[in-house]
Structure 1
Amino acid sequence: MNMTMQGVAQPTKAAGKYAHIIPLPDPPREPDMQQTMRLLDFGSIVRYHFAHRDDVLVAGEGYLRHDGENDSENFVPDCIVTFGVDPQAIVARNGYVISEVGKPPDFVLEVASRSTGRRDYTVKREGYAAYGVREYWRFDHTGGEFHDAALAGDTLIGNHYEAMEIHHESDGLIWGHSPILGLDICWDKEQIRLRDPSTGAFIPTPEESAAHAKEAEARAEASEAENRLLRERVRMLEDRPS
């Protein structure tokens, strides 16, 4: 399955009632390990944030088309987020067909690469607006060498996009707020990060969460070892003849 499932439901493709669905072909992709890791981190964080829902799709690397039979529609978003859908059916199709799903994606993210950067902020920007994608975000780790900006977000007004406000902080942080996700999308030291606007804290990546859990476990073990030693010393003092 080329359509990478980064979503909440994590379905098995073509299982059970979805076995009759004919999948779209896998789109050609140029491997970019840095881009892939950024997308996996982004998708994992969004998935965790909406883990309480089973109607959210977070996926990428599959065709986005209005009509499944129209081979001329060749957009392949890096990441899409959609609410109120059946993720299993979409993944079984190996692509997102708007006429079949019943709605366009709510959110699309493109991560810049040398080969596709200009297309992301020209052709795709026009195409996603025509499809009705409510929010379109672009991230360029180079700071704007491949895209027209390090970070850009558009919101759909009528049938065209209007640029969303992007903030540039003195420490180099660049960020904008996504009403669709309810999170801040940030350019931080060439990395894409998500921030909880209610706390102002970055949402940890899976690696950071694992590291924090490991550190907490180590602290708990050290504390327990110290407590055992103290209990043993107390016992020895109590057993000492007076």
Structure 2
Amino acid sequence: MTTPNIETKLTAQTNGAQGDVVQTQPPDAGEVPWYELINDAPEPPEDAMQQASTILYVMSILWGRYEDDRAVLVSEQTNVIYDSAVPGSVIVPDGYVVFDVPARMIESERRSYRIDEWGKPPDFVLEVASESTAARDLSEKREIYARMGVQEYWKLDKHGYYGEPLVGERLVNGEYNRFELHTESNGEVWSRSEVLGVDFYHRLEDGISTFSLWDSVTGERLKTPGEEVAARQAAEAWAQDERQMRQEAEARAQDAESRAQDAESRAQGAESRAQSSEAARLAAEAEIERLRRQLHGR
């Protein structure tokens, strides 16, 4: 992401007839939206869309990962002021994470992250390549992040501007050293962020460059908030289907039991009627026998 080179300009103004000269400075560069400082144009670079999907994907996952932790600040494309005493000491990472700071207060009350105010730089910084930003990401920004003390600097590239799709670096004695890059048999490459506990994966899928993030401990793929919602809705729909099928099975079982009880009741009724018929037959035979004896006894 391009960071403006901000110069302090003094404007001399004459105050009425007394001829007093009033020197005014522009607003604090750190409080001005970054896109208003690029080429004096109130819009992002023309190739910003080359970065947008990757930035959104990664940072939304990290936002969801730390959403409930009030001491973790996750931000994207906002100003980081690394020396408030020096005008123009502002840089705009594509994304960054800061641990052990009052994140909610910073989000609600500040427009910039000031290192001298909170006493520490970001722990993790992400840059995503575009044609207009790649060279600076590899040189000037990398040097600034090292001077700031950013512990991990990660670069992702779908388009080949960095020369490689995935690079993670850790700060050691003021200089960046690369994390080990692993290559799988299917061509995937991945590297582990120690400060995040996240594995970054890159692969080509039908010729399309894709990234994914995985939890280093559980081995589970991390989802964006949208994917989490979709997965939850799918799970709820599956559970609802399961409940409905179980209820239907229980209803069928109850119906079968009811039919069995009806059949048993009918069988008992038939047996009762048969017993009554047999009793009537025996009674009739007894009556016939009594009448016969009575007839012979005359």
TM-score range, shorter chain: 0.7 to 0.9
Asked whether 1:236 is paired with 2:263, we answer no
User: What is the alpha-carbon distance in structure 1 between the residues aligned to residue 105 and residue 84 of structure 2?
Assistant: 14
Structure 2 counterpart of 1:64: 80
Q: Deviations over 1:177-199 (max 9, x none)?
A: 11111111222442332211223
Aligned to 1:16: none
1:59-208 equivalences under 5 Å are 59-68=75-84, 70-91=86-107, 92-142=109-159, 145-189=160-204, 190-208=209-227
Higher helix share: 2
Higher relative contact order (CA 8 A, sep 6+): 1
Which is greater in Rg? 2
Is 1:209 the counterpart of 2:216? The answer is no
User: Number of residue pairs matched?
Assistant: 219
Q: Structure 2 regions of 5+ residues with no counterpart?
A: 1-28, 36-43, 264-298
How far 1:141 moved relative to its partner?
1.4
Is the CA contact (8 Å cut-off) linking 1:150 and 1:187 kept in structure 2? yes
- Alpha carbons of structure 1 residues 148 and 75: separation in structure 2 relative to 1, 3 Å: farther
* Counterpart code for 2:225: P
**Greater alpha carbon shift after TM alignment, 123-132 vs 225-234:** 225-234
Offset, 1:201:
2.7
Matched residue of 1:152: which SS? strand
Q: Does the 8 Å CA contact 1:183/1:196 hold for their aligned counterparts? A: yes
1:69-91 residue CA offsets vs partner (Å, 9 max, x unmatched): 53433421011101111224533
Q: Secondary structure at the match of 1:201?
A: coil
CA distance in 2, matches of 1:39, 1:211: 20
Backbone CA RMSD of aligned residues: 2.2
The one of 10, 29, 32 aligned to 1:25: 32
The answer as to whether partners of 1:133 and 1:156 remain within 8 angstroms in 2 is yes
Q: Is the deviation greater in 203-212 or in 73-82? A: 203-212
CA separation of 1:228 and 1:196: change in aligned 2, threshold 3 A: same
Structure 1 residue 33: deviation in Å?
4.2
Q: Residue type matched to 1:134 in 2?
A: Q
Query: For residues 188 and 205 of structure 1, do their structure 2 counterparts lie closer, same or farther at Cα, with a shift above 3 Å needed?
Result: farther
**Which letter does structure 1 place at the counterpart of 2:191?**
G
**What whole-Å deviation, never above 9, does each CA across 1:154-208 have from its counterpart, x for those lacking one?**
1111121112211122222221111111111222442332211223332122233
Q: Matched residues in 2 for 1:212 and 1:226: separation? A: 21
Q: Contact 1:141–1:187 at 8 Å: present in 2 too?
A: no
Closer, same or farther: CA 200–88 of 1 in aligned 2, 3 Å: closer
Name the TM-score, length of structure 2 as normaliser: 0.67
Q: Is the CA contact (8 Å cut-off) linking 2:30 and 2:79 kept in structure 1?
A: no
Give 2:284's aligned residue.
none
- When residues 94 and 69 of structure 1 are mapped into structure 2, their CA distance, relative to the original with a 3 A threshold, is farther
SS in 2 for 1:202: coil
Give distance in 2, aligned partners of 1:193 and 1:217.
25
Instruction: Give distance in 2, aligned partners of 1:123 and 1:34.
Output: 21
Greater alpha carbon shift after TM alignment, 121-130 vs 190-199: 190-199
Which moved further from structure 2: 154-163 or 68-77?
68-77
Amino acid at match of 2:34: P
Using a 3 Å threshold, how does the CA distance of structure 1 residues 199 and 87 change in structure 2: closer, same or farther?
Answer: closer
Q: Structure 1: where are the runs of 5+ without partners?
A: 1-21
Letter in 1 for 2:199: D
Q: TM-score, normalised by structure 1?
A: 0.81
Sort the Cα spacing of 1:67 and 1:90 in 2 relative to 1 into closer, same or farther, 3 A.
farther
Contact 1:164 1:176 in 2 (8 A): yes
